[in-house]
Amino acid sequence: MTSDKDSPEIVVCLGSSCFARGNAQNLSAIEAFLSNHGLADAIRVTGRLCKDECKLGPNLTICGDERHEVNTARLRAALQGLISEAR
């Protein structure tokens, strides 16, 4: 994970509902994807709470976009979009 405040950011909701609904697996998948594509130093991954929207989750925000309710396919597509954006 990188700490550069200017780099793109993925914010994963770490609330108990979102985490139980899949963000534990999503976080692992994000970290593996970034590592496998050489982006671990280019994109920050942080955890926060999603402001009482956990019933819609699992939620995450990618590069300042609106909140995403993610499943494995949506997460994979969003991460693929980061490859060209981060380089």
Over residues 2-8, the mean pLDDT reads: 64
Instruction: Give me the pLDDT at residue 3, please.
Output: 47
d(CA 84, CA 87): 5
pLDDT range class, residue 85, cuts 50, 70, 90 = low
* Predicted confidence (pLDDT) per residue in 45-64, tens digit: 999 987 788 788 898 888 87
pLDDT of residue 37: 92
Cβ atoms of 75 and 25 within 8 Å: the answer is no
The CA distance from 67 to 34, in Å, is 20
- What residues does 13 pair with on adjacent strands? 48
State pTM to two decimals: 0.82
Homologous superfamily assigned to 9-86: Glutaredoxin (3.40.30.10)
Position 40 pLDDT exceeds 70: yes
